[in-house]
Amino acid sequence: MPPETATTAPPVVSLTIEDADRLRLVITRLQRRLRRQANAGITPSQLAVLGTLNRLGPLTLGELAGAESVAPPSITRIAAALEEKQLVERVAVSDDRRSSRLRLTPKARRLIQTIRHERTAWIAARVAELSGSDIRALQRGIEALEHLAESGQ
């Protein structure tokens, strides 16, 4: 067997379909567990809308429906519930007074921070139960998972 040289390509590494299925399942299970950790009396759909507004800034209902990939009537119901809880408010669009955008209230920003803190604390506590080698493996995997989350949109 010839010695490996600098020009030798690294071996192709791929995930088996079984491992891809395990990954999908563990992500789904973790997401469910996180939802149960801190929901602050709002639905997952309402929290998703708050997260989108937090990330993208004020949006019209149509823009929000597109960003969330849901039908306009669903966004209208979610927005009404969030307005009732004083988590979003409508602001007029400067160039079209008939149109408005939804934006987060300070109460919503505090709620998002609280939920994030509680969920992060839950993950940190679970990770602390792992062995050192498992924690190092997890640290190496975070970058790959971030790449997966950002690719193929």
Residue 99's pLDDT is what?
Answer: 82
| Average pLDDT value for the chain | 89
Digit-coded pLDDT (tens) for 30-79: 988 988 877 778 998 999 999 999 999 999 999 999 999 999 999 999 99
CATH 1.10.10.10 fits 37-150, yes or no: yes
pLDDT at 73: 93
Indicate whether 28 pLDDT > 80.
yes
Domain boundaries of the chain, sorted by first residue? 37-150
| pLDDT, position 6 | 59
pLDDT at 92 over 70: yes
- Residue 2: the pLDDT is 57
Residue 12 pLDDT grade (very low, low, confident, very high; cuts 50, 70, 90): low
In this structure, are residues 50 and 116 in contact, taking their beta carbons and an 8 Å threshold? no
Distance CA(87)–CA(105), nearest Å, equals 5
